[in-house]
Amino acid sequence: MKIGIIGGGASGVFAAIRIKELHPNYDVTIFERNDKLLKKIYATGNGRCNFANSNSIEGAYNNDFALPILKDFDYLAIDKYFDSIGIKSRKLDNLYYPYSLSAATVAEKFLKRINVLKIKFVLNAKIDNYTKNKEITVNDTKYTFDMLIFACGGKSSSQFGTDGNVYSLLEEHGYKIEKLSPSLCPIKVKENVNKLDGVRAKAKVYLLSNGKEVYNEVGEVQFRSDALSGIVIFNIAFMINKFNLQANTTSIKIDFVPEVDKRINKEEYNSYLNEKLSSYLVKNNIDIHNAIFAFKSFYTFDISHVSSGGVSLDEISTNLESKKEKGIYFIGEVLDIDAKCGGYNLMWAFASAEKVAKSI
């Protein structure tokens, strides 16, 4: 069995390793457009790689399709596998990191497995074609496979090779691509927050649609000159996409003192908040418990960590094989599956790769 994997990121490399471990006689080749494998992994989790999460997966993803696959290869299974290849974990609250707190450890151990298992890989190999017979031509060389796995990621952070280039090729083959949007990114707001640039505040953040609460989370809001940022805001961006909220009726409410029940007089704001933030609220006559910011837009794809949308789930069966082209599989972020922050996106990359490795 000859298998070609398009994309040498988290899901593609993990799939190659697991396929070779489970089926040593299979011939596996990874095609990666960058000049090295796993370029994005080094940047994950602020260079620490948050690779799993022990909290419930219910509600953490944009849809439930992924859940059975994630349950089959859950955070404990991922941690156990990582341990077996020499990656000890460190759990900070519910988040799993390599014990070294260095994403390079994960990349290095994966690359070691690639070496040991003698998995072939072709670098600087951008795939922009394939035939129904699973033939691809890259840099003037033709390859033929029995099976092709698309593991080429989404459209976010093109500096790592993921600019959504494969979607037009897949559209040519008749695949439906769900609308792509930046997710896990800062949110531009209509209000002028220029004076708050650089301010950070722990707060309770509510996502409102037509004034009604859709979601809330406590976390640190980080102001930019034109936007709100921070993990809590990234998760709000995810929810806006998940619930397909319309820009002009979406707003973000921030309670800057959620622990304080009583009404607070404006003269006291600076006893609770930093000077810049308290004077902004006072000057603009904004309630410290109820600061509303109107959604303007997401930041660009290049600033986002993950994109929502991608290959429609209508196109694949539960083992991630294409319904219209036998022997074609999709794993990781290229699919219309994304999640909030906290290791859930890498969990999907690994669990979907494991699923395909086990089902072939």
Q: How far is the CB of 342 from ligand FAD (least distance, A)?
A: 7
Options 43, 67, 264, 303; binder of ligand FAD; rule CB under 6 A:
43
Check binding of 98 to ligand FAD (CB under 6 A).
no
Counting contacts by CB under 6 A, is residue 17 touching ligand FAD? no
Q: Supply the minimum distance, in Å, between the C-beta of residue 339 and ligand FAD.
A: 7
Applying CB under 6 A, the span of 79-87, 111-119, 120-128, 221-229 interacting with ligand FAD comes to 120-128
* Binding residue for ligand FAD, selected from 343, 355, 357, 360, defined by CB under 6 A: 343
Question: Which single residue brings its beta carbon nearest to ligand FAD?
Answer: 9
Which residues sit opposite 95 in a β-bridge?
Answer: 53, 92
Q: Which of residues 156-215 bind ligand FAD (CB under 6 A)?
A: 156-157, 160-162, 165-166
User: Would you say 69 or 208 has its CB closer to ligand FAD?
Assistant: 69
Site string for ligand FAD, 284-323 (x = CB under 6 A): ---------------------xx-----------------
Cβ burial of 14 (10 Å; 0-12, 13-18, 19+) is buried
Please identify which residue in 34, 181, 183, 251 interacts with ligand FAD, judged by CB under 6 A. 34
CB closer to ligand FAD, 165 vs 270: 165
| Count of positions on this chain that bind ligand FAD (CB under 6 A) | 41
Residues 69-88 binding ligand FAD (CB under 6 A) are none
The interface region with ligand FAD, picked from 6-14, 75-83, 194-202, 315-323 by CB under 6 A, is 6-14
Shortest approach of ligand FAD to residue 149 CB, angstroms? 10
Q: Kindly report the three-state secondary structure assignment for every residue of the chain.
A: CEEEEECCCHHHHHHHHHHHHHCCCCEEEEECCCCCCCCCHHHHHHHCCCCEECCCCCCCECCCCCHHHHHHCCHHHHHHHHHHCCCCEEEECCEEEECCCCHHHHHHHHHHHHHHCCCEEECCCCCCCCCCCCEEEECCEEEECCEEEECCCCCCCHHHCCCCCHHHHHHHCCCCEEEEEEECCCEEECCCCHHHCCCEEEEEEEEEECCEEEEEEEEEEEECCCEEECHHHHHHHHHHHHCCCCHHHEEEEEECCCCCCCCCCHHHHHHHCCHHHHHHHHHCCCECCEEEEEEEEECCHHHCCEEEEEECHHHECCCCEECCCCCEEECHHHECCCECCCCHHHHHHHHHHHHHHHHC
351 binding ligand FAD? (CB under 6 A): no
Q: Which stretch binds ligand FAD (CB under 6 A): 33-41, 78-86, 261-269, 291-299?
A: 33-41
- Which of 153, 182, 186, 309 contacts ligand FAD by CB under 6 A? 153
Q: Which two tokens stand for residue 283?
A: 């000057």
Binding site for ligand FAD (CB under 6 A): 6-12, 31-34, 39-40, 43-45, 49-50, 125-127, 151-153, 156-157, 160-162, 165-166, 305-306, 332-334, 343-346, 349
